[in-house]
Amino acid sequence: MSKCEQCIVRQFNSLKHLSKDELIRMSACKTSKIIKKGEPLFLEGEHLNGVFCIKDGICKVSKISDNGKNQIVNLIKKGDLIGERSLISEEVSNLNAVALDDLEVCFIPKSEIIRDLEKNQNFTMDVLKNMANSLKNADNLIVDMAQKSVKQRLAETLLKLQTKFGTTDEGYLDIHLSREDIGNIIGTATESAIRLLSEFKKKGFIEIKGKNISVINETELHKVSSGF
């Protein structure tokens, strides 16, 4: 089990603001585990009582509506923290987090991290900044769902995926999403997502090979995303 003070992943999140002593103390009480592809990291209604640091892999964060539809609200990647809200609020989680591929995660209990929030101002401000950013993204998602067409949302999503996850040596998006997942991100049925992807491919905006998608024409996708 790697030690927090030696872990490269912490450089990508708020833990970079902790001192060596704070990291050594945290390392002594954290737990590490592997979550297999398709398994939940946590489910709606659970008390998290701490934060998860994603050491490797990607997980999808979603909310299931009353009519059973699954809306993916975020994709969490290597280096990200998840569960920060549990540090501030006593409420149970309102979201589900499921492994998109095999996840390697470390769990830091709330009782341990609260000490650092109280004593380390830079750490606290960075956690708050990330929470504020999550709120901003949630606001944007609400507006996009209400005002943008499914086609606009798909174009925007493909561009965002390229920015966030980059591309492989072959030029494909470095993330494997099922057609159902794509539908759950843009808020439409799987069949509609498949139809729109096919339309984008015919127009030369993207290339598709199995689950692999490559963005070919960013300019045209930006136009579609903006409603042109």
Beta strands in 77-136 (DSSP E): 81-82, 96-99, 103-109
Quote the DSSP letter at residue 203. Answer: T
pLDDT at 216 over 90: yes
> Residue 1: is its pLDDT beyond 80?
no
Q: Which residues pair with 59 in a beta bridge?
A: 76, 99
122 CB contacts (<8 Å, ≥6 apart)?
17
Q: How large is the average pLDDT for residues 132-148?
A: 89
CA dihedral 72, 126, 85, 66 (to 10 degrees): -20
What is the arithmetic mean of pLDDT over 61-88? Answer: 90
Nearest to 30 by CA among 61, 62, 6, 59: 6
* pLDDT for residue 220 is more than 90: yes
pLDDT digits (tens, 9 = 90+) for 35-48: 999 999 999 999 99
At 218 the pLDDT is: 95
The overall average pLDDT reported for the chain is: 92
